[in-house]
Amino acid sequence: MGIDNGSQSTKVAIYDVEGNEVAFGSFQLKETLSPEPGVVIHPDDDLWDSVHGAIKNCLAHFTGDPKDIAGIGLCTIRCCRVLLKENGHLAYPVISWMDSRLNNPYVHSDDQVKYVTTTSGYLGFRLTGELKDSASNYEVHWPLDRETLDWSKDEEVFEANGLKREMVFDLVKPGEKLGMLRQELVEEFGFHYDIPVVATANDKAVEALGSGMKDEGTIMISLGTFISSMLLRNEFKENAVNFFPTLACIPFKYVYESNGIRRGMWTVSWFKKLIGEELVTEAGKLGVSEEEYLNRRAQDVPVGSDGLITILDWLATPSMPYRKGIMIGFDQRHTKYHIYRSILEAISFNIKNNIDDMLSEINVTLKDLVVIGGGSKSDVMMQIIADLFGLPVHRRLGSSSACLGAAICVCQHLGIYNDFYEAASKMVKTQQTFIPNQNNHVLYNTINDTVVKNVRVYTDEILKRSYPIFS
């Protein structure tokens, strides 16, 4: 069983040892709360409720015997902070990765707080009762020693991060055991009494493992609310400018993560809501989903959307708050489906440019791409990416690459395969590969190099003037 606890939902899948998905379930999280500027928290005990609910929903679709499930891999949202009482329960709501307080080290201000941990530490505790966590889910503002994947032995490093050793959980590596599932959960779910809960890493690194990345010539693109791209590497890169080196889901390996797109696929959801009831009606007539209806119509729109170009600044960064989303080039040819395709092309241009910035710092030549996440279900989106990069693009089989990555960690713990690499090669499967069209590749790169990369030079100056009026 692999658990993928994300920002919007928790997904749980059950696999056989060859990576075939035999059951899947999910559970929506509640909307995060922002009681004051900069504060973003998860309400109540929402993360645990979603994990518990997703496990139950997955088991409801499982036709086998729950006692045959040999282990549970736990993958959770990264870059959050969880403050716990002495009994291991929440002293304060889980602090989201979007909360501005996480830009700084922990400051101890509440004597109720006995432990400071991550989401995987907290949810691991709820599953096992053990005060253990994955070393590979700790990054900024934690006293982690990357050379040992254990806590620093330097008290000054702890103090610089606002912590003491007794405030943090013991660490294990990906593929190692967090603990055995609590007996009351064993009984509730009908599992074998002796079932391990296995550590993974930060959620993007687990996705990378579950996407089948095995060498540095393949890059993974994750098309979700936050869109980023990852390369597997053997060494840490100090002082990186255009990417973030993070711990991989294979101990002592790293993934380089490109600059991301905030509200990436969210922009598609925004546009769907904009069309509203008409979209629901038209999709209903054909008996297809709203996304599939839009994708079918977008395939009829010429490459380049007849000159309609979108710039994806729907959520400005704090350093450039004046930036707003832009669409330029409208004329009488353009329909709502041109707008939709233009949004997909804008996402793709942004991905390409972020990846190019990362590759400019390291000596890597790409040979293919793997695209995962909700956006990968769109054939038109996959073809746009293939055409833009001029490389084959693979869509993986299954409901969640992070769930599969978590299951691979279980296989590692159980010794089913020799190592992570063999497990991934046996368990990750390709559903479809998209081959680039060379003419489209030339056109897309002409648009990107001529317009997209240069447009903000002009639009920034206009938006700086409008910002004080509408802010």
> pLDDT tens digits, residue range 397-453?
999 999 999 999 999 999 999 999 999 999 999 999 999 999 999 999 999 999 999
CATH of the domain at 101: 3.30.420.40
Tell me how far apart the alpha carbons of residues 316 and 457 are, in angstroms, rounded to a whole number: 16
Phi, psi of 139 (to 5 degrees): -130, -100
Q: What pLDDT score does 272 carry? A: 87
Q: Which residues of 6-38 are buried (b: 16+ CB within 10 A; e: fewer)?
A: bbbebbbbbbeeebebebbbbbebeebeeeeee
The residues near 304 (Cβ < 8 Å, ≥ 6 apart) are 345, 443, 444, 447
Tell me how far apart the alpha carbons of residues 135 and 249 are, in angstroms, rounded to a whole number: 10
Tell me how far apart the alpha carbons of residues 322 and 410 are, in angstroms, rounded to a whole number: 46
Going from the first residue of the chain to its last (471 residues), give the mean pLDDT of each consecutive group of 10, the final group possibly shorter. 93 97 96 92 97 98 97 96 97 94 95 97 98 95 96 96 97 98 98 96 94 86 87 92 94 93 81 89 92 93 97 87 95 96 96 95 92 91 98 95 97 97 96 98 97 95 95 79
pTM, full prediction: 0.89
CB 6 within 8 A of CB 398: no
Residue keyed to tokens 């930060």: 202
Q: What pLDDT score does 315 carry? A: 81
Strands 430-434 and 150-151: unpaired
- Is residue 303, in this structure, part of any structural domain at all? no
State the chain's maximal CA–CA distance in angstroms: 67
Tell me how far apart the alpha carbons of residues 201 and 230 are, in angstroms, rounded to a whole number: 14
- Is residue 368, in this structure, part of any structural domain at all? no
- Is residue 411, in this structure, part of any structural domain at all? no
Q: What pLDDT score does 11 carry? A: 97
- Is residue 387, in this structure, part of any structural domain at all? no
Q: How far is CA 25 from CA 45, 60, 302, 309, in A?
A: 20, 8, 38, 38
Domain count, the chain: 1
DSSP string, 351-386: HHHHHHHHHTTS-----EEEEESGGGG-HHHHHHHH
Length of the chain equals 471
**Long-range pairs for 255-258 at CB < 8 Å and ≥24 separation?**
255/204, 255/205, 255/208, 255/213, 255/230, 255/231, 256/230, 256/231, 256/358, 256/362, 257/204, 257/228, 257/229, 257/230, 258/228, 258/229, 258/230, 258/351, 258/354, 258/355, 258/357, 258/358
- Is residue 27, in this structure, part of any structural domain at all? yes
- Is residue 8, in this structure, part of any structural domain at all? yes
Q: Which residue segment(s) compose the domain that 108 sits in?
A: 2-205
Q: DSSP 3-state helix, strand, coil percentages of the chain (rounded to 5)?
A: 40, 20, 40
- Is residue 35, in this structure, part of any structural domain at all? yes
- Is residue 179, in this structure, part of any structural domain at all? yes
